[in-house]
Structure 1
Amino acid sequence: DDPLPPGWVGRPWALHTGYLRSSPETEWILEMDADTAAQPGLVAALLQVAQQEQWDLITLAPQFILKHPGESWIQPALLTTLIYRFGAVGSEAGSPERVMANGQCLWVKKSVLDAVGGHESSRLSFCDDVTLVRTIAAAGYRVGFLDGSQLFQVRMYTSFQETWREWGRSLDLKDASPWGQIWGDCLFLLATQGLPLVLLIALVASQSWRWGSPLVWASLGLNGVLMLLRIAVLAGIQASYGHKAWSFWLSPLADPLAVVRIILSAGSRPRSWRGRDYQQLGTE
């Protein structure tokens, strides 16, 4: 690959280059990742919903293609960390800082990109899609994160290890979020997704309910409800997947690991990405 200009991550630079080379007469720009597969009618559907519902920018959630048991186990658990923090696809965000987006399929008015300087706001971001969309939302434009599972598919990674390493290190969204929000979200995930299964197993294994303590019974009830909610979320996201391996249905067992991955990512910054070295990023 050609060397990057100082102060840019590779993906936002590539997208910014495409934006700079677009025709001045362009009304809409579609950005899609190379690992996606679009269904016929994608562009027509995006244009129609954008015009009918007056969106300035739309990103779509895909249908995920998972082929191996390991990735089918960890990936839904990692996806659930996003749902717990930002709500399901189509949810209204309370503020620009809570907007969710997916840059694998992004449809935006060129005039909106012109107004925010293209991808300049996300030049240093390893979650550049969320950074860009939150910048646009903060500028007062109407942005939407909609269900696109019938419109395109994505095969992101090929194993547990690759999913853990590559996807896991950007899902904390630290480059698009204030410090307090990042760690507040980590504590929320720990309480609602990371610990319930562990606590339930510990309480049942220790036979603590025999003590008759109201606190023990309250803990059993609360964590039991949280696990039922987690199972409901799993049922709700199944349409976002094509063929589902048996390990998909066991993905709630991966929740403690998924939350640990988010916390580890929140406390570090990538030094390399997709074969590029970013040791000096932000120090030029």
Structure 2
Amino acid sequence: MSALTVGLGAIATVAIALQAPWVAILLARLWAGLKRPQPLQPQPSCLANLGTVTIVVPTLNEAQRLQPCLEGLMRQGYEVREILIVDSHSRDGTADMVRAAQQRDPRLRLEFDPPLPKGWVGRPWALHTGFCRAHPQSQWILGIDADTQPQPGLVASLLHTAAADGLDVVSLSPQFILKSAGEWWLQPALLITLIYRFGAARVVESQPERILANGQCLLIRRSLLEQLQGYSAARSSFCDDVTLVRTAAARGARVGFRDGSRLLKVRMYEGMAETWREWGRSLDLKDATPVAQVWGDVYFLWAVQGLPLPLFLLTLAGLTAAPPLLPLQLAMLLNGGLLLIRMAMMVAIAPVYDWHHRQGSAFFWLSPFADFLAVWRISLSSGQRPKQWRGRQYSAV
């Protein structure tokens, strides 16, 4: 038996030993997806919810993408008492855009947040400012990001879901708008890192340390926010949405994360490079997660997403150049199975993309070839704390 054969057999044996336990965890998480709640549907306005919601939109130099968000919010029903645009003193005409929109909808109100206090990140500070200035009769606070495109019936659907499932917090995943081949190739691989780590959403999330939330659309009961002293629990977090929601869940709040692809669209980043830089550095969720869990998730992602394609190709090449050793055969079957799961996941997540923007969309089906890079990006981010975010510079906070 040649040295090459012995070496390949050893690699295959180690791969099986390191991957197999994590494959079982992955299968358990994905299996639970068969019972996940169905995507939320738009709902008509309900008179009982008249004026119960204050919407808060934090902005900083958002003039290039705020208009679709404003248009969508102005189409919401009479559940919305007010729409507070909390601007961090933008210099690109954001405030003028809001003032123009105010002429069409009196619910819009432009606010400016005070200077950023030490120890706070800009986004939670703006949301906290909006919470503090919300009308006292609003029962719910809905945080919405400026890059979203709310669809009609969004707010009514959120309130309907909260009432039906007895939730204190409702967060939505959006439908993504991608416009280049690079985005279509990389972004789905990054999204899969979230699905693999957190699995499918349950009716009520029961494990605070594994809860996922999306601050692009986060409805929270006002009384709960008062108990939490607003957004102060997430003041220094670059994943403030997850930090806030996990804190709330740990105190007994009922949290739900739903598929909102029929209610909310989002154009997050412009191009592959910005997607890699901006989204990639927050997906590790380290500000809301114990260190051991962060690095355990990194190990898990390498085992079930980052390495299956290279290991499958390596074992396949080994079987053509060496005797059919059992470890090589088992490793090829294991990683081949993981690749089949990954391909099935592409079909499963296809509805969360807006296919009307088809330029480069064929690269979506090649996204498994970006898995190694996606996991590498999470690994890099897990050991680094951002120093710049949305145009602001941060020291240690």
- The TM-score range, normalised by the shorter chain, is over 0.9
SS state at 1:76 partner: helix
SS state at 2:261 partner: coil
SS state at 1:31 partner: strand
- The Cα of 1:205 is off from its aligned counterpart by 2.8
Partner residue, 1:272? 388
Instruction: Give distance in 2, aligned partners of 1:263 and 1:247.
Output: 24
Instruction: Give distance in 1, aligned partners of 2:147 and 2:393.
Output: 22
1:192 aligns to 2:308 (yes or no): no
Partner residue, 2:154? 42
Amino acid at match of 1:7: G
Amino acid at match of 1:141: A
Aligned residues: 281
Distance 1:150 1:90, change over 3 A: farther
Match of 1:95 among 186, 202, 207: 207
Instruction: Give distance in 1, aligned partners of 2:206 and 2:190.
Output: 23
Instruction: Give distance in 2, aligned partners of 1:169 and 1:195.
Output: 21
Match of 1:76 among 148, 167, 188: 188
Amino acid at match of 1:256: F
Consecutive unaligned residues of structure 2, counting only runs of 5 or more, are 1-87, 90-114
Partner residue, 2:315? 203
Report if aligned partners of 1:116, 1:136 keep a CA contact under 8 Å in 2. Answer: yes
Consecutive unaligned residues of structure 1, counting only runs of 5 or more, are none
Amino acid at match of 2:375: V
- The Cα of 1:160 is off from its aligned counterpart by 0.6
Instruction: Give distance in 1, aligned partners of 2:123 and 2:336.
Output: 42
Q: TM-score if structure 1 supplies the norm length?
A: 0.96
Question: 1:1-284 alignment to 2 at 5 Å?
Answer: 1-2=88-89, 3-90=115-202, 93=205, 95-207=207-319, 210-243=322-355, 244=358, 245-279=361-395, 281-282=396-397
Amino acid at match of 1:129: D
Distance 1:160 1:132, change over 3 A: same
How well do the aligned residues superpose, as a CA RMSD in angstroms?
Answer: 1.3
Q: TM-score if structure 2 supplies the norm length?
A: 0.69
- The Cα of 1:172 is off from its aligned counterpart by 0.2
Percentage identity across paired residues of the two chains:
56
Instruction: Give distance in 2, aligned partners of 1:19 and 1:35.
Output: 20
Larger gyration radius, structure 1 or structure 2: 2
SS state at 1:129 partner: helix
Report if aligned partners of 2:201, 2:256 keep a CA contact under 8 Å in 1. Answer: no
